Amino acid sequence: MSAQRDADSAMPGFYAAQGIRKSYGAIQVLKGISLDLKPGRMVTIMGENGAGKSTLFKILAGQVPPTGGTLRLAGAPVALASPSAAHARGIYLVPQEPALLPELSVAETMFVGALPTRGGPLGRRVDWAAMRARARAALDALELPIDVDRPARTLSIAQQQQVECAKALLRGCRIILFDEPTSPLTSHEVEHLFSIMRRLKADGCTLSFISHRMDEVLEISDEIAVLRDGVLVDVVARPSFDRARLLSRMVGRPLKAVPRRAASNARDEVALEVRGLSDGLRFADVGFSLRRGEVLGLAGLVGAGRTEIAETVFGVRPAAAGEVRLGGAVVTGLDCHAMIRRGLVYVPEDRARHGAVLPMTITENVTSGLLDRVRRRAGLLSARDEARISAAAVRDFRVRCAGLDQPLRELSGGNQQKVVFAKWMTTGPRVAILDEPTRGVDVGAKEDIYEMIDAMARDGMALLVISSESEELVRLCDRILSIYEGRVVAELSGADISPAAVARSYLTAAAPSGGVAA
Amino acid sequence: MSAAAARPAADPRPGWRDRRELVLVAVTAASAGAVGIVNPGFLTVENLRFVALNSVVLSIVALGQTLVIAMRGIDLSVAPLMGLSAMVCGLLAQTHGLPLWGAVGVALAIGLALGTLNGVLVAALNIPPIITTLGTYSLFGGLTFLYSDGTQVDQVPPAYAAFGNAGPLGLPVPTPVLVLLLVTAACWFALGHSRFGRAVLAVGNNAAAAYNAGLRVAVIRIQVYALSGLLACLGGLVFVCYTGSATVTTGTGDHVELQSIAVALVGGTLIAGGRANVLGTVLASLFLSTVLTALVFLQVPPIWYSAGEGLMILVAVRGGTRRAAGRA
């Protein structure tokens, strides 16, 4: 068995990861991944958000150096210093949305970095004729009817991926990785991509791809590898694929008691009602109602459209159809300033960019959202009033700091997030949308934030929480809506809520004929 | 052929429909003709020769700027660099009798060294080019002040004046025009047909993608800023030979940095990078020179000149972005 593997692993095109580890600071993203990619085989990587799939691909393609472990190509260890080093070794990563060179022709984008040249009276010059002929031949070989003289900016995403495949072959790359290629494609385009993949496979290329869509995975894969929390938990080879087993492998977690929130504080009065909301692009026909004191969660894969839904409700992204009611009044189409005045706030996920002003003091940050309410003296803000509000916020939100005049930059991520919350909550909102409220927050501060959210709900605030951590939603929410590719695919409430059920609710949507009961 | 037939009709071939050069020639000729009707003195051979010669220095500097903008950068320091080169070469000639070939060497050395400094600051230290070259704008201007020590260039040796105004070997075409033709041809060949130039455009299109494709983006950036510095200093040398004078405000006083950006953009180079038009830059310089001279002939107060240049930039950038948006 082992001898057989050794013999195989020396084959050209046999690409193996051995004990690959990757850490960003203290966070371990990959915890020792060993995986074999073989010529003529398609190995699919599946896994939840943050399982480490993309990181693994970036390491395999030389875009990111691993913290530990070895890559072996045809049995010999290789170190990949850059993507071009990977190309030179025959390894090519097709990104989900290929990086375009919009002003250049299709032919030139295929050859960029390796333009063919010929001698001329003025020295070596680019051989446009040879370049176009070779580009056309490479596209023809995959039966892709794309004009090589078109500017690259006129290609659709599907065509860009097709061109990338031809480009990989042109560069002599026969180990081709596809990072979630199908999610921006229509089903017809996916079929076309799969026909290209099958052709490459028949030709002996070594293939691997990432997908969330179970049907696709079962159709195209020879082996399926499941990643969970940076660990390779399962590798199954055709024909022993089993939907239920794959799903449970993806969502199954080490036994850890996940606390549920205490009894619901939901009251009868509806605070926020959304009906048939679409932005015409990323999500469609989203509807829910949120009562005072209720905590409603939005679960889903990264990129499912949850942030876009929140931004549309808040009025920073235009709605194409549908209605938003705040306390019974229609507010669709109002801008975010009007929303804030009417008692709706949105705490975005990217704190540093949208929520907090890091060089400014705690007081300045806390009061920046309600400067028109601070008492003024001769047109100037009253420092004493500002300090009073800020001191109350620091006390209520348990911000750990040296003083009110400390710059926000000096606080930990968790305490920064508390200040951001304090800023919004001092405006006295009736409805708050919290997008990834504990991203980049340490464990201790996390629990503080959870208790703050509980307290806000007890006070009658209606809360919509977006989180990619199932445990967090379980801990916080009375009800959870599961979003998949811009649509509400499931609703969980009461005793049905558990981390596995939450993850399963959208992963099952990715496998429509899966029939896996919660 | 079948692929061409399958292409949607609205799909432009790169560069094919862009007749920017023809438009510029037509507009320049029309402007000159219109001014000639009001003031026939404008259309004399002597004046037209002045208009053309007057655009040469800006063209040379703006070709460097074109390379930088094509790479999605910007170089504000071309103006003081041009001034520094004019001042150093002019003073060395005026007070120490530096021969012309020595001045060429000095100008190119200054340009290469300080242009490389810009490139290293942008590429290696990762400082945004607008900040970097705003900083070096002051730095290089300061060097000119220090070096001039309160003096200025008011006469250059005959060899310099001949280089700036007459043709070599008795040719009827002045040397600066020949220098410009040479530089233009080199830039055209480089951007259109050399690996280096195509790499510059690739970086301007998408630096991350260019890096992933194996291009040494940092090296290319440094080379392009070095070339821009080189051309700015060559422009400064031509300027001091042509006019016989240089002061501490040569270059910066005329806002050559803005003029060079304006003509590059009017010429069809995209402010967002990735596409350049070498011939367009030269023709746009000629257009600007025509307009500025025409304003003199029409007795428009000089205070309006820079307002006109500003308007040109806005129109050029707006036109470029509209086309960029329209083809998404």
Residue pLDDT, tens place only, B15-39: 434 578 888 899 899 989 999 999 9
Q: Note the helical H segments in chain B.
A: 2-6, 20-38, 45-70, 78-96, 100-123, 129-148, 158-165, 175-193, 195-205, 207-212, 217-243, 256-266, 278-297, 305-326
* pLDDT band at residue B247 under the 50/70/90 scheme: very high
**Going by C-beta distance under 8 Å and a sequence separation of 6 or more, which residues neighbour residue B53?**
B165, B174, B176, B177, B242
d(C-alpha B236, C-alpha B80), whole Å: 9
Copy the structure tokens of residue A188. Answer: 């017809």
Residues of B in contact with A150 (CB under 8 A): 7, 11, 13
- First-to-last C-alpha distance (Å) of chain A: 38
Residues of B in contact with A123 (CB under 8 A): 194
CB B60 within 8 A of CB B111: no
CA distance B12 to chain A (A): 7
CA distance A34 to chain B (A): 25
Q: With an 8 Å Cβ cutoff, are B11 and A154 in contact?
A: yes
pLDDT in tens, A230-247: 889 888 888 888 877 887
Residues of B in contact with A99 (CB under 8 A): 206, 208-209, 212
At position A256, the amino acid (one-letter code) is: K
CB B75 within 8 A of CB B129: yes
DSSP string, A208-269: EEE---HHHHHHH-SEEEEEETTEEEEEEETT---HHHHHHHHH-----PPPPPSS----SS
**Going by C-beta distance under 8 Å and a sequence separation of 6 or more, which residues neighbour residue A109?**
A100, A101, A152, A163, A167
Residue that has been written with the tokens 């080019």 in this structure: B129
Q: What is the mean pLDDT of residues B113-131?
A: 94
**DSSP state letter for A352:** I
Q: With an 8 Å Cβ cutoff, are A147 and B7 in contact?
A: yes
Quick one: pLDDT at residue B78?
Answer: 97
**Going by C-beta distance under 8 Å and a sequence separation of 6 or more, which residues neighbour residue B235?**
B57, B58, B60, B61, B78, B82, B85, B256
Residues of B in contact with A122 (CB under 8 A): 189
- Interface residue ranges in chain A relative to chain B, Cβ cutoff 8 Å: 63, 82-84, 87, 98-105, 108, 112-115, 117, 122-126, 128, 136, 145-151, 153-154
The total of other beta-carbon atoms located within 10 Å of residue A62's CB is 23
The ranges assigned to domains in chain A are 2-100+155-251, 256-343+430-518, 356-428
For chain A, the average pLDDT equals 84
- First-to-last C-alpha distance (Å) of chain B: 25
ipTM of the complex in this document: 0.80
Q: Determine what percent of chain A falls in helix, strand and coil, rounding each to the nearest 5.
A: 35, 25, 40
Quick one: pLDDT at residue A517?
Answer: 37
Quick one: pLDDT at residue A2?
Answer: 59
d(C-alpha A209, C-alpha A182), whole Å: 10
Quick one: pLDDT at residue A358?
Answer: 78
Topology (CATH level 3) of domain A2-100+155-251: Rossmann fold (3.40.50)
Q: A2-100+155-251 and A256-343+430-518: same fold?
A: yes
Copy the structure tokens of residue B3. Answer: 């692929």
CA distance B1 to chain A (A): 9
**Going by C-beta distance under 8 Å and a sequence separation of 6 or more, which residues neighbour residue A258?**
A471, A474, A475, A498, A499
- Cα nearest neighbour of A112 on chain B: B213
d(C-alpha A17, C-alpha B285), whole Å: 58
Q: What is the mean pLDDT of residues A172-197?
A: 85
* % residues pLDDT > 90 (chain B): 65
- Cα nearest neighbour of A61 on chain B: B212
Q: Is B58 exposed, middle or buried (0-12, 13-18, 19+ CB in 10 A)?
A: buried
Facing B208 at nearest CB: one of A99, A123, A147:
A99
Q: With an 8 Å Cβ cutoff, are B274 and A122 in contact?
A: no
* pLDDT band at residue B8 under the 50/70/90 scheme: very low
* pLDDT band at residue B13 under the 50/70/90 scheme: very low
**Domain covering B19-321 assigned CATH 3.40.30.160 in the classification:** no
Facing A151 at nearest CB: one of B6, B14, B210:
B14
The DSSP bridge pattern shows strands A15-24 and A27-37 to be: antiparallel
Q: With an 8 Å Cβ cutoff, are A150 and B215 in contact?
A: no
d(C-alpha A299, C-alpha A480), whole Å: 7
Half-sphere exposure of A46 (CA within 13 A, CB side): 29
Residues of B in contact with A117 (CB under 8 A): 195
CA distance A186 to chain B (A): 20
* pLDDT band at residue A96 under the 50/70/90 scheme: confident
Q: With an 8 Å Cβ cutoff, are A154 and B275 in contact?
A: no
Q: With an 8 Å Cβ cutoff, are A150 and B212 in contact?
A: no
Q: What is the mean pLDDT of residues A144-148?
A: 90
Chosen for mutation from A101, A142, A177 (greatest number of chain B CBs closer than 10 Å) is: A101
Please tell me which residue, A421 or B230, carries the higher pLDDT value: B230
Peptide bond into A239 cis (omega under 30): yes
**Going by C-beta distance under 8 Å and a sequence separation of 6 or more, which residues neighbour residue B292?**
B54, B305, B308
d(C-alpha A88, C-alpha A172), whole Å: 8
Quick one: pLDDT at residue A255?
Answer: 40
Closest CA to B72 of B298, B310, B285, B273: B273
> Under the phi-then-psi rule, with left for phi > 0, alpha for psi from -120 to 50, and beta for the rest, what region is A497?
beta
The DSSP bridge pattern shows strands A462-466 and A295-300 to be: parallel
Chosen for mutation from B18, B196, B198 (greatest number of chain A CBs closer than 10 Å) is: B198
Quick one: pLDDT at residue B327?
Answer: 36
- Cα nearest neighbour of A95 on chain B: B209
Facing B205 at nearest CB: one of A101, A124, A136:
A101
Q: With an 8 Å Cβ cutoff, are B212 and A147 in contact?
A: no
Residues of B in contact with A114 (CB under 8 A): 213-214
CB A126 within 8 A of CB B194: yes
**Going by C-beta distance under 8 Å and a sequence separation of 6 or more, which residues neighbour residue A233?**
A226, A227, A249, A252
Closest CA to A408 of A374, A458, A365: A365
Give CA separation, B231 vs A193, B58, B59, in Å: 48, 10, 10
Chosen for mutation from A147, A148, A159, A179 (greatest number of chain B CBs closer than 10 Å) is: A147
| Second CATH level (architecture) for the domain A256-343+430-518 | 3-Layer(aba) Sandwich (3.40)
**Going by C-beta distance under 8 Å and a sequence separation of 6 or more, which residues neighbour residue B287?**
B24, B27, B28, B31, B263, B266
Q: Which residues of B213-240 are buried (b: 16+ CB within 10 A; e: fewer)?
A: bbbbbbebbbbbbbbbbbbbbbbbbbbb
pLDDT in tens, B204-218: 999 988 888 888 899
Please tell me which residue, A85 or B311, carries the higher pLDDT value: A85
- Cα nearest neighbour of A116 on chain B: B195
Quick one: pLDDT at residue B203?
Answer: 95
* pLDDT band at residue B240 under the 50/70/90 scheme: very high
* pLDDT band at residue A4 under the 50/70/90 scheme: low
CB A505 within 8 A of CB A490: yes
- For the cut 90, the answer to whether the pLDDT of residue A332 exceeds it is no
- For the cut 80, the answer to whether the pLDDT of residue B10 exceeds it is no
